[in-house]
Structure 1
C-alpha cells in the first residue's frame, strides 16, 4: 500500500512537509546507487552526437537514414574504470563514467538517467499485477464519476423545463454542453499530461478538484444561462479521464496485454451514461433536477479523495524526470538528465504550443486512417445519444414507466457489455496474443480490427430491433433485450479502434485520442438537440431505422483499413508507425 501512496499527490505532499523523511526512494536511502541509474550507452551517444538515440546509418536500399543499436555496450570498459566527472587529456575532453570523447561541435557532457534495468520496479510496466489492478480500478472509478455527469442530468430535464419555463431543446443544452466541454478539454489536458515536468497525476487531481467545486454553483444556478455555463465548464474540467485514461492504462500494460486493461476501462465508460438515468431518475423524481447535480458532486468528491491518496504517477517520462531531479539534488551533479527532459529542453514555446494545440487537429484531419475511424466512432457516439433520448418516449409514453423506472430500462445495455467481455477476451488470448512478435513485442495494428467489423454489424441490428419492437402490443422486455446489442457493437468497435490508434501512433497517442474525443463529443453534443423532434415526427420505428441505415453505411470502414491500412501507414502517413 505504501508504494501507492508514495507516488501519489498526498505522498508528495507528505514528503514535502516532512522534508523528505517520509516515503523515501531507494537512492535517497543509499546515495551510492545513483551510478546504477545512468545509462552508459545513451550517455556515450550524448557525448558523441548530442542525442541519446541510436546512431543513424544510411539504408542501402532507400538511401534513407535508419536507427541502429549502438555496439558501445560491447566495447565499453567497466563502470568503475573512468571517473564520474568529465576530464581533459591531450586537448580532448572525455565524458565521466563512459570515457567517451566529447565531440566539440555537437557533443554534450550529459549522463542520461534511465531505468535501473529492464526489471526496474519503478517502471509502471514492471509493477506487480495487484498494483496495476488497483490503479486500473481507480481510473475506471474516475471515468465513471465524470461520464455519469452527462446522462445523470437527462433525468432532470423535465424539471428544468418546468422550473425555468423553457423548451425541451433549451433544457437539453445542459446535457449537450457538458458533452461539448469534455470534447474540448482533452485538446489541452491530454498533451499537457505528456510533458515530463507535469505528468498525469497533477492534471487528473487539479481538474477533478475544479470539477467537484463547480458542482456547487451548478446545483444552485438560479437561471438557465448560469446553469448552461457551469455545465460546459464542468465538462471541460472533467475531461482528462475520458481521453487520458486510455494513455494511463497504456503506461502500465505491454502491448500484448494492454487491450485487457482498455476493455475494463471501456466498460466503466459505458457504465456512466447507462447508469446515469437510473441514479438520477429516482433523485429527480423525488427531489428535482438539483439533486442529480448533488449526487454527481458526492460521487466525484469521493473519487477525488481516493485518487489524491492512492493514485500513483504512471507516466514513465515524469517518473524518470523526477528521478533525475532527485539525483541532481543528492549528488550536486547538474549533468544528470533524463531522456524525456533532454528532448523537451530543445523545444521552443512555439513548438510546445504546436504539440499542445495544433497536433491533435493535424493528426485527425490530415491522417486518413485517423479521420475515418474517428468519424465512425463519432457517428456511433452521436447515435447513442440520439437513441438515449428515445427511451423517455418508448418507456415513458408507450409503456408508462415512471422516471425512476425509465432509468432501469438502461440496464439492458449494461448487460450487453458484461456478456461481451468474456468472448472478446477469449479471442484476444486465443488468436491475438500469439501474433505478437516475441522479440519486439510488436503487432501490426490492423490485426486488432476484426472485432470492429462484427461490432459494426450489431449497431444496426440493435436499432432495427429496438425501433420495430417498441409497440404497446409487444412486451417491454423486447426493446430492452434489443438495446443490449448496441452495447455489444459499441464495445467491439471502441476497444479495437482505440487500441489500433495507440498502436499505429504510439508517439502521438495522447494527441490522437484527444482528437478522437473531440470528434465523438461533437457528435454527442449536437445529435440530442434534434432527437426528440425526430422520434416524434418519424415515429420510433422509422426514426430508429433511419439511424440504422446510417450505421450500415459506415460498416465497410474497418474492412477497408484491414485491407489497405498497412499501405496507408507506410506510404501515405507522416506520423504513423512504419516498422511493423
Structure 2
C-alpha cells in the first residue's frame, strides 16, 4: 500500500489516543514518542535536517500546489477572448477551467503510489518540466480542442503536490506546529484560485492571452531551478537507503523502496471512506470550499462583468477581497489551532484531534455572514460598491479557517496514512467543486444572488456543520475512554 510506504517512519500509536501533559516537551523533535518515531543517525533522514531546510521543502510543495490552482483559474478573465478566438460560447470557454479542476482532483490518485515508490523529489521536477512544455503549447494553440488538450495535460502533470503535500508536512514538522505548517500548504492551495484571475486580468488586458501561458511556463521553469538548487527527497526508508554521491547524485531518479506498484495502490485512498472521521471532515470541507470559494470565483465574471460592464482587468481586481480574506483567515486558523490545543493539554492534562474542531464553528459562522452579505448586497446594487467584496472577504476568511482545521483533523486522525488523507480530501474537494460550475449559474439566475446565498448557507449548515458536530461529539467521548 502506498500509505504504508509514505508513513513507514511516521506511524502513530493511535490517532485518537490522549496526549498526556507530562509527555509533552516544550520543543519535541519530529521523531518524538508522541508520533511513535524512533530517531536515526542518518543525515538523509529528513527528521535530522536543519529547520531551514525542512521549512524550505514545505514552502516549495505549498507553492507548487498554489501554482496548480493558479494556472487553472488564471484563464478566467480571458473567457470572452477565448470564445471569440476559438469560435465557441463563453460557457464552452469556461470548461477549460472546469476540466482542470476535475483533473486536479483525480490525477493525484495516480501520482500518489508512483511517488511512494520513486520519491516526491523527482516526481516534482518532472511535474514542473512537463507542465512547462504544455504551457508553451498552450501559448501556440489556435483551436479550442488543442487548447483543451494542453489544459488537461497541464492539470494532470502539475497535480502531485495537491495530494502529497500533507505527507510532506507530517514527515517534516513537529506535532505541536502541524496545524501551522499544514496551514501554509492549504493557504497556498486556496489562494492560487483567486490569485490567478487577479494577476492574469492585467496580463489579458495589456499583453494578450498568449502571455498568460508564457508566464505560466516561466513560473514552471523557475520552480525547476529551485528544486535543483535546494530541493531534496522527503521520504526516508532506512531499509533501502538511497545511495548517492554529491550534488548530481540526488538528481538521478531511482526507486526509494523495494515495494512494487500494484493496482490496489491506486485505489488505496478510497479505503479512507471507511473511516468516518476522515470521510466526514473531507465531505464537510468539500461543501464549504465549493460555496465559500469556488461559487464566488466562478460567478465573478458574470456578477461583475455583466452587471457593471467590467473589463478583464476590473474583474480581476475584485479577487483582491478573496485573497485578503484567505490570508487573514490563515493568520488566525493555524497558529490559533495549535495554541488552543496546547491550552487544552495544560488545562485538563490531555488533548485529542477532535479538540481542534471547536474553532471550526467560528469558521462556519463567518462563512454564513460572508455569503449572505455578498449575495444580498450584490443583488441590490445598482452601481458598483465595496460591500459585496467585503462579504466575499468574510466568507473567504471562514473558508480558509475551516480548510486548515478540518484538514489537520483528518490528517491527525490517520497520521500513518497522511499522504493518502491528503489525496482523499483533495478528491472530495475537487470533484464537488467541478460539479458546482454546471449548476451554480442557473441557480443564481433562478433565485437571484440573495436567494442563492441563502440556499448555499443552508447546505453548508445542514450537510457540513451538523456532521462535524456529530463527529466531534463521538471522537471526544472516545478519547476520554
Place the TM-score, normalised by the shorter chain, in its bin: 0.7 to 0.9
| Residues 1:172 and 1:287: Cα distance change in structure 2 (over 3 Å) | same
Contact 1:173 1:529 (8 Å CA) reproduced: no
2:119 counterpart (190, 199, 208)? 199
Q: Does the residue aligned with 1:514 lie in a helix, a strand or coil?
A: helix
Matches for 1:311-390 after TM superposition, within 5 Å: 311-317=231-237, 321-323=240-242, 325=243, 345=258, 352-354=262-264, 356-364=265-273, 366-383=274-291, 384-390=293-299
Q: Counterpart of 1:564?
A: 474
**C-alpha distance in structure 2 between counterparts of 1:378 and 1:487, whole Å:** 14
**TM-score calculated relative to the size of structure 2:** 0.82
CA distance in 2, matches of 1:534, 1:431: 39
Partner of residue 99, structure 2:
177
Match of 2:443 among 523, 534, 547: 534
Q: Alpha-carbon deviations, 1:19-78, whole Å to 9, x = none?
A: xxxxxxxxxxxxxxxxxxxxxxxxxxxxxxxxx9x9xxxxxxxxxxxxxxxxxxxxxxxx
Q: Which residue of 2 aligns with 1:524?
A: 433
Instruction: Name 1:467's counterpart in structure 2.
Output: 375
Aligned with 2:306: secondary structure?
helix
Q: Which is greater in Rg?
A: 1
Gaps of 5+ in 2: 1-8, 12-37, 246-254
> Is the CA contact 2:180–2:335 (under 8 Å) kept in the aligned structure 1?
no
1:226–1:465 distance in 2 versus 1, CA, 3 Å: same
Cα offset, 1:475, TM superposition: 5.3
CA-to-partner distance for each residue in 1:475-522, whole Å, 9 max, x for gaps?
Answer: 521111111112211111111111112111122222222121111111
* 2:211 alignment counterpart: 291
Task: Indicate the structure with greater helix content.
Answer: 2
Give the distance between the partners of 1:564 and 1:442, measured in 2 at CA: 17
Q: CA RMSD in A?
A: 2.9
**Structure 1 position 469, deviation (Å):** 0.8
What secondary structure does 2:232 align onto? coil
Aligned residues: 432
Check the 8 A contact 2:334/2:405 in 1, yes or no: no
Question: Does the Cα contact within 8 Å between 1:194 and 1:510 map onto a contact in 2?
Answer: no
Q: Distance in 2 between matches of 1:205 and 1:185?
A: 16
Which of 127, 131, 136 aligns to 1:211? It is 131
Where does structure 1 lack aligned partners over 5 or more consecutive residues? Answer: 1-51, 55-113, 328-339, 571-577
Which of residues 304, 309, 317 is equivalent to 1:395? 304
Q: Is the 8 Å Cα contact of residues 155 and 403 (structure 1) preserved in structure 2?
A: yes
Do 2:355 and 2:476's aligned partners in 1 also have CA atoms closer than 8 Å? no
Residue in 2 that maps onto 1:246: 166
Residue correspondence of structure 1 range 501-520 to structure 2 within 5 A: 501-520=410-429
Q: Runs ≥4 in structure 1, deviation > 6 angstroms?
A: none
CA contact (8 A) 2:179 2:335 kept: no
Please name the residue that 1:277 is paired with: 197
Q: Distance in 2 between matches of 1:124 and 1:433?
A: 25
* Correspondences of 1:42-441 after superposition (within 5 Å): 116-117=40-41, 122-195=44-117, 198-317=118-237, 321-323=240-242, 325=243, 345=258, 352-354=262-264, 356-364=265-273, 366-383=274-291, 384-435=293-344
CA change 1:475–1:222 in 2 (3 A) is: closer
